[in-house]
Amino acid sequence: MSEATVAKVALITGANKGIGLETARQLGALGITVLLGARDLKRGEAAAAELKREGIDARALKLDVVDAGDRKAAAEAIGRDFGRLDILVNNAGIGEHGNSTLTTSEEALHNIFETNFFAVVAVTNALLPLLRKSAAARIVNVSSILGSLTLHATPGSPIYSVKAFAYDASKTALNAYTIHLAHALKDTKIKVNSVHPGWVKTDMGGAEAPMEIVDGAKTSVRLATLADDGPTGGYFHMNDALPW
């Protein structure tokens, strides 16, 4: 069977709930096979079963992004079952609560960077050989508007008074990775972009957030399904480019 007749394959990390699960749902509704990366396999399997009841080809994959063994096993499983990966959505991330810039501990910095930055690089590196086997792979790094240095430094901007140092810095570093990885892959058909999903009603975003989860997934889905003439090395919310 030729690649043209085979459904695209997408891996979404942190996909057993929230924006990750909704991203999988929307990609699956497009006929894409979705692999739900989850630290807890049972929760991943429950989420996959939910999507299967909606007619989506969804499969759970044990993947704690900070675990080197999980990353290696996930890459081997995808290679064995599909031979390639068409879409990688680096969605897994953790937040920060109750720390000011002056009180953020080194431990908090290390923990948040481990998940939000270092693990993204490691997961991407583990899967890049499979992404290179796709006709035109897409890598989506789920960042945040809080990673924007320009907006943080601009009085009156929407985020000027919102400072969560460890989290913000981890997303700024992730944006730098997006720029560098896109440049490194500029002579391929692989596209790499950062997304700000919005302030969404999730466990991290809280009930007071103005956006619903269904809308929070839309930017990731758009960039995961870009046409060949779409952007790479960008930073987006919905259809709008954000300042670095």
177 is known as an active-site residue: no
The active-site residue, picked from 8, 171, 191, 218, is 171
Q: Using an 8 Å Cβ cutoff, are 150 and 111 in contact?
A: no
* Domain locations along the chain: 3-241
Query: What is the reported pLDDT for 212?
Result: 79
- Concatenating the DSSP letter of every residue in 72-115 gives HHHHHHHHHHTS--SEEEE-------S--TTT--HHHHHHHHII
pLDDT of residue 203: 59
Residue 199 to residue 97: CA distance in whole angstroms:
15
Token pair recorded at residue 68: 């080197």
CB 124 within 8 A of CB 139: yes
Alpha-carbon span 207 to 238, nearest angstrom: 21
Cα Rg of the chain, angstroms:
17
* Predicted local confidence at residue 7, as pLDDT: 87
pLDDT tens across the length of the chain (244 residues): 344 447 899 999 999 999 999 999 999 999 999 999 999 999 999 999 999 999 999 999 999 999 999 999 999 999 999 999 999 999 999 988 767 899 999 999 999 999 999 999 999 999 999 999 999 999 999 999 999 999 999 999 999 999 999 999 999 999 999 999 999 999 999 999 999 997 665 555 555 654 678 889 999 999 999 999 999 999 999 999 999 9
CB of 29 within 8 A of CB of 17? no
The strand pair at 87-90 and 138-142 is best described as parallel
171 is catalytic: yes
* 167, 177, 218, 235: the active-site residue: 167
The CATH number of 3-241 is which of 2.60.40.10, 3.40.50.300, 3.40.50.720, 1.10.10.60? 3.40.50.720
Task: Record the pTM.
Answer: 0.93
